[in-house]
Amino acid sequence: MKPQSHRGASGLLVLNKPQGITSRRALDEAQRWFPGVRLGHAGTLDPLATGVLVVCLGQATRFVEYVQRMPKSYKATFRLGAFSTTDDADGEIEPIANPRRPSAFEMDSALAGFIGEIEQVPPTFSAAHVEGRRAHKLARRGEQVELQPRRVRIDNIEVLRYQYPELEVIIDCGKGTYIRSIARDLGRRLGCGGYVGKLERLRIGPFRIEDAVPLTADAEDAQARVLPAWAALAEMPRVILNAEQARRLRLGQRLPWPGPVETSEREVLAVDELGRIVAIAGWSERTQVLAPHKVLVEEDG
Protein backbone atom coordinates (compact mmCIF):
# COMPACT_ATOMS: atom_id res chain seq x y z
CA MET A 1 0.00 0.00 0.00
CA LYS A 2 1.33 3.41 -0.93
CA PRO A 3 2.02 5.49 2.21
CA GLN A 4 -0.12 8.56 2.75
CA SER A 5 1.37 12.04 2.60
CA HIS A 6 2.59 13.26 5.97
CA ARG A 7 3.44 16.83 5.02
CA GLY A 8 2.53 18.11 8.50
CA ALA A 9 4.51 15.45 10.34
CA SER A 10 6.93 16.54 13.03
CA GLY A 11 8.89 14.29 15.35
CA LEU A 12 11.79 11.88 15.71
CA LEU A 13 12.41 8.38 14.44
CA VAL A 14 15.14 6.16 15.87
CA LEU A 15 16.59 4.35 12.87
CA ASN A 16 18.89 1.31 12.89
CA LYS A 17 21.38 2.09 10.13
CA PRO A 18 22.74 -1.02 8.41
CA GLN A 19 26.38 -1.52 7.48
CA GLY A 20 27.68 -0.52 4.08
CA ILE A 21 25.73 2.68 3.41
CA THR A 22 26.21 6.32 4.38
CA SER A 23 23.95 8.11 6.83
CA ARG A 24 22.72 10.23 3.90
CA ARG A 25 21.72 7.10 2.00
CA ALA A 26 19.91 5.76 5.07
CA LEU A 27 18.01 9.05 5.28
CA ASP A 28 17.06 8.81 1.61
CA GLU A 29 15.79 5.26 2.21
CA ALA A 30 13.69 6.45 5.16
CA GLN A 31 12.17 9.21 3.01
CA ARG A 32 9.86 6.69 1.34
CA TRP A 33 7.99 6.34 4.64
CA PHE A 34 7.33 10.09 4.83
CA PRO A 35 6.70 11.50 1.34
CA GLY A 36 6.71 15.28 1.26
CA VAL A 37 8.27 15.62 4.73
CA ARG A 38 11.63 17.28 5.29
CA LEU A 39 14.07 14.90 7.02
CA GLY A 40 17.42 15.43 8.74
CA HIS A 41 19.65 13.21 10.85
CA ALA A 42 21.64 13.84 14.02
CA GLY A 43 25.13 12.37 14.36
CA THR A 44 26.67 10.88 11.21
CA LEU A 45 27.67 7.22 11.16
CA ASP A 46 30.43 5.95 8.86
CA PRO A 47 29.43 3.36 6.21
CA LEU A 48 31.15 0.63 8.29
CA ALA A 49 29.11 1.52 11.38
CA THR A 50 25.62 0.33 12.29
CA GLY A 51 23.10 1.33 14.89
CA VAL A 52 21.23 4.34 16.20
CA LEU A 53 20.67 7.17 13.75
CA VAL A 54 18.11 9.70 14.98
CA VAL A 55 16.00 11.05 12.11
CA CYS A 56 14.23 14.38 12.65
CA LEU A 57 11.02 15.07 10.73
CA GLY A 58 9.43 18.37 9.74
CA GLN A 59 9.86 21.15 12.30
CA ALA A 60 11.88 18.76 14.48
CA THR A 61 14.77 19.16 12.00
CA ARG A 62 15.39 22.44 13.82
CA PHE A 63 16.36 20.38 16.87
CA VAL A 64 19.11 18.33 15.23
CA GLU A 65 21.84 20.21 17.09
CA TYR A 66 20.26 19.38 20.45
CA VAL A 67 20.22 15.65 19.70
CA GLN A 68 23.83 15.87 18.52
CA ARG A 69 24.84 17.27 21.92
CA MET A 70 23.51 14.21 23.76
CA PRO A 71 25.91 11.59 25.15
CA LYS A 72 26.48 8.50 23.03
CA SER A 73 27.38 4.84 23.59
CA TYR A 74 29.17 2.59 21.11
CA LYS A 75 30.10 -1.07 20.95
CA ALA A 76 33.36 -1.44 19.04
CA THR A 77 35.74 -4.20 18.03
CA PHE A 78 39.32 -2.98 17.60
CA ARG A 79 41.75 -4.96 15.47
CA LEU A 80 45.32 -4.78 16.70
CA GLY A 81 48.57 -5.52 14.87
CA ALA A 82 47.99 -3.05 12.02
CA PHE A 83 46.94 0.47 11.13
CA SER A 84 44.44 1.53 8.46
CA THR A 85 44.47 4.53 6.14
CA THR A 86 40.90 5.32 7.30
CA ASP A 87 41.38 4.02 10.86
CA ASP A 88 38.76 1.35 10.17
CA ALA A 89 38.38 -1.86 8.17
CA ASP A 90 37.20 0.02 5.06
CA GLY A 91 40.68 1.48 4.46
CA GLU A 92 43.95 0.01 3.27
CA ILE A 93 45.33 -2.15 6.05
CA GLU A 94 48.98 -1.57 6.93
CA PRO A 95 50.31 -4.45 9.10
CA ILE A 96 52.92 -3.77 11.79
CA ALA A 97 56.08 -5.87 11.53
CA ASN A 98 56.46 -7.95 14.70
CA PRO A 99 53.84 -6.05 16.71
CA ARG A 100 53.76 -6.20 20.48
CA ARG A 101 51.07 -8.26 22.17
CA PRO A 102 49.98 -6.15 25.13
CA SER A 103 48.92 -7.90 28.32
CA ALA A 104 45.45 -7.37 29.79
CA PHE A 105 47.02 -5.15 32.45
CA GLU A 106 48.76 -3.01 29.82
CA MET A 107 45.51 -2.76 27.89
CA ASP A 108 43.52 -1.62 30.93
CA SER A 109 46.19 0.93 31.85
CA ALA A 110 46.30 2.36 28.33
CA LEU A 111 42.51 2.61 28.08
CA ALA A 112 42.33 4.41 31.43
CA GLY A 113 44.38 7.21 29.86
CA PHE A 114 41.53 8.02 27.49
CA ILE A 115 38.93 8.67 30.21
CA GLY A 116 37.90 12.27 30.83
CA GLU A 117 38.39 15.33 28.62
CA ILE A 118 41.17 14.66 26.12
CA GLU A 119 42.66 16.21 23.00
CA GLN A 120 41.79 14.09 19.98
CA VAL A 121 42.82 14.44 16.32
CA PRO A 122 39.99 13.35 13.97
CA PRO A 123 40.72 10.70 11.32
CA THR A 124 42.06 11.99 8.03
CA PHE A 125 39.08 10.45 6.26
CA SER A 126 36.35 12.19 8.24
CA ALA A 127 33.76 14.95 7.99
CA ALA A 128 35.99 17.32 9.98
CA HIS A 129 36.71 20.62 8.23
CA VAL A 130 40.06 21.88 7.00
CA GLU A 131 39.84 25.52 5.92
CA GLY A 132 36.14 25.10 5.18
CA ARG A 133 36.50 21.84 3.26
CA ARG A 134 35.74 18.27 4.36
CA ALA A 135 38.89 16.37 5.28
CA HIS A 136 37.79 13.17 3.54
CA LYS A 137 37.31 14.98 0.22
CA LEU A 138 40.83 16.38 0.39
CA ALA A 139 42.29 13.01 1.41
CA ARG A 140 40.60 11.20 -1.48
CA ARG A 141 42.19 13.68 -3.89
CA GLY A 142 45.58 12.86 -2.42
CA GLU A 143 46.01 16.26 -0.79
CA GLN A 144 47.87 16.66 2.49
CA VAL A 145 45.46 16.87 5.41
CA GLU A 146 46.54 18.31 8.74
CA LEU A 147 43.76 18.25 11.31
CA GLN A 148 44.08 20.08 14.60
CA PRO A 149 43.29 18.30 17.88
CA ARG A 150 39.96 19.06 19.45
CA ARG A 151 38.71 18.58 22.98
CA VAL A 152 36.30 15.67 23.47
CA ARG A 153 34.89 13.86 26.50
CA ILE A 154 35.06 10.12 27.12
CA ASP A 155 33.04 9.02 30.14
CA ASN A 156 33.81 5.31 30.28
CA ILE A 157 35.42 2.43 28.40
CA GLU A 158 34.34 -1.07 29.39
CA VAL A 159 36.31 -4.05 28.11
CA LEU A 160 33.97 -6.86 27.06
CA ARG A 161 36.61 -9.14 25.58
CA TYR A 162 40.32 -9.03 24.89
CA GLN A 163 41.95 -11.82 22.95
CA TYR A 164 44.77 -10.56 20.77
CA PRO A 165 44.39 -9.32 18.04
CA GLU A 166 40.82 -8.33 18.96
CA LEU A 167 39.57 -6.00 21.66
CA GLU A 168 35.83 -5.54 22.19
CA VAL A 169 34.70 -2.50 24.18
CA ILE A 170 31.73 -0.31 25.03
CA ILE A 171 32.53 3.40 24.97
CA ASP A 172 30.40 6.14 26.53
CA CYS A 173 31.34 9.56 25.21
CA GLY A 174 30.27 13.07 24.37
CA LYS A 175 29.71 14.98 21.14
CA GLY A 176 32.39 14.93 18.46
CA THR A 177 34.29 11.86 19.70
CA TYR A 178 35.74 9.64 16.97
CA ILE A 179 35.91 5.97 17.96
CA ARG A 180 38.31 5.42 15.05
CA SER A 181 40.72 7.90 16.63
CA ILE A 182 40.60 5.99 19.92
CA ALA A 183 41.51 2.76 18.12
CA ARG A 184 44.33 4.46 16.23
CA ASP A 185 45.74 6.25 19.29
CA LEU A 186 45.46 3.14 21.47
CA GLY A 187 47.49 1.21 18.88
CA ARG A 188 50.14 3.92 18.93
CA ARG A 189 50.37 3.97 22.71
CA LEU A 190 50.74 0.22 22.90
CA GLY A 191 53.07 -0.04 19.90
CA CYS A 192 50.93 -2.62 18.16
CA GLY A 193 48.74 -0.63 15.77
CA GLY A 194 44.97 -0.50 15.87
CA TYR A 195 41.86 0.25 13.85
CA VAL A 196 38.09 -0.26 14.10
CA GLY A 197 36.90 -3.59 12.74
CA LYS A 198 33.25 -3.29 13.79
CA LEU A 199 31.23 -0.43 15.24
CA GLU A 200 27.66 -0.16 16.48
CA ARG A 201 26.08 2.89 18.07
CA LEU A 202 23.95 1.68 20.94
CA ARG A 203 22.52 4.95 22.17
CA ILE A 204 22.18 8.70 21.65
CA GLY A 205 20.80 10.22 24.84
CA PRO A 206 17.54 8.36 25.59
CA PHE A 207 17.31 6.88 22.07
CA ARG A 208 18.40 3.22 22.21
CA ILE A 209 19.17 0.51 19.68
CA GLU A 210 16.41 -1.64 21.22
CA ASP A 211 13.86 0.91 20.02
CA ALA A 212 15.35 1.49 16.56
CA VAL A 213 13.42 0.84 13.34
CA PRO A 214 15.21 -1.19 10.63
CA LEU A 215 15.18 0.07 7.05
CA THR A 216 13.32 -3.13 6.14
CA ALA A 217 10.25 -1.98 8.12
CA ASP A 218 7.08 -1.04 6.28
CA ALA A 219 5.72 2.49 6.19
CA GLU A 220 2.88 1.84 8.65
CA ASP A 221 5.27 0.50 11.29
CA ALA A 222 7.75 3.35 10.80
CA GLN A 223 5.06 6.03 10.96
CA ALA A 224 3.60 4.50 14.12
CA ARG A 225 6.97 4.69 15.87
CA VAL A 226 7.58 8.43 15.36
CA LEU A 227 8.29 10.12 18.69
CA PRO A 228 7.05 13.63 19.54
CA ALA A 229 9.35 16.52 18.68
CA TRP A 230 9.87 17.42 22.34
CA ALA A 231 11.76 14.13 22.83
CA ALA A 232 14.76 15.94 21.31
CA LEU A 233 14.57 18.46 24.15
CA ALA A 234 13.52 16.19 27.01
CA GLU A 235 16.59 17.01 29.12
CA MET A 236 16.23 20.78 28.74
CA PRO A 237 14.74 22.78 31.67
CA ARG A 238 11.22 24.07 30.98
CA VAL A 239 9.28 27.23 31.59
CA ILE A 240 5.49 27.35 31.20
CA LEU A 241 3.94 30.37 29.51
CA ASN A 242 0.38 31.63 29.56
CA ALA A 243 -1.39 32.33 26.26
CA GLU A 244 -0.28 35.96 26.03
CA GLN A 245 3.34 35.16 26.87
CA ALA A 246 3.36 32.34 24.28
CA ARG A 247 1.95 34.72 21.66
CA ARG A 248 4.63 37.32 22.35
CA LEU A 249 7.48 34.83 22.32
CA ARG A 250 6.24 33.39 19.00
CA LEU A 251 6.36 36.92 17.59
CA GLY A 252 10.04 37.08 18.51
CA GLN A 253 9.55 39.40 21.49
CA ARG A 254 11.67 39.20 24.64
CA LEU A 255 9.83 38.45 27.90
CA PRO A 256 10.67 39.54 31.44
CA TRP A 257 11.14 36.29 33.38
CA PRO A 258 12.35 36.45 36.99
CA GLY A 259 12.65 32.65 37.20
CA PRO A 260 13.13 30.24 38.67
CA VAL A 261 15.36 28.53 36.12
CA GLU A 262 17.84 25.82 37.07
CA THR A 263 21.06 27.58 36.08
CA SER A 264 22.32 31.11 35.84
CA GLU A 265 22.45 31.34 32.04
CA ARG A 266 21.39 28.76 29.47
CA GLU A 267 18.74 27.76 26.95
CA VAL A 268 15.34 26.66 28.19
CA LEU A 269 12.32 25.04 26.56
CA ALA A 270 9.31 27.35 26.60
CA VAL A 271 5.96 25.54 26.45
CA ASP A 272 2.39 26.73 26.69
CA GLU A 273 -0.14 25.65 29.31
CA LEU A 274 -1.10 22.64 27.17
CA GLY A 275 2.52 21.45 27.06
CA ARG A 276 3.07 22.41 23.41
CA ILE A 277 6.48 23.72 22.37
CA VAL A 278 6.51 27.48 21.82
CA ALA A 279 10.23 28.13 21.47
CA ILE A 280 13.73 27.44 22.63
CA ALA A 281 14.75 30.55 24.48
CA GLY A 282 17.84 31.93 26.15
CA TRP A 283 17.54 33.01 29.77
CA SER A 284 20.00 35.06 31.76
CA GLU A 285 19.98 35.45 35.52
CA ARG A 286 21.58 38.85 35.05
CA THR A 287 18.86 40.29 32.80
CA GLN A 288 16.03 37.96 33.90
CA VAL A 289 14.70 37.98 30.37
CA LEU A 290 13.62 35.19 28.02
CA ALA A 291 14.93 35.76 24.47
CA PRO A 292 13.56 33.51 21.68
CA HIS A 293 16.24 31.53 19.81
CA LYS A 294 14.12 29.04 17.84
CA VAL A 295 10.38 29.67 17.53
CA LEU A 296 7.81 27.09 16.50
CA VAL A 297 4.78 28.69 14.93
CA GLU A 298 2.78 25.51 15.40
CA GLU A 299 3.62 22.49 17.53
CA ASP A 300 2.76 19.17 15.88
CA GLY A 301 4.65 16.86 18.26
The residue from 28, 46, 155, 218 that is catalytic is 46
Let me know if 46 is a catalytic residue. Answer: yes
CB count in 10 Å sphere of residue 265: 11
CA-based radius of gyration for the chain = 22
Cα separation values, 233 from 128, 157, 198, 227, Å = 26, 27, 30, 12
Cα separation values, 182 from 122, 179, 211, 244, Å = 9, 5, 27, 51
Give the up-direction half-sphere exposure of residue 228: CA atoms within 13 A in the CB hemisphere.
10
Torsion from C-alpha of 58, 64, 65, 71, nearest 10 degrees? 150
User: Which residues are catalytically annotated?
Assistant: 46
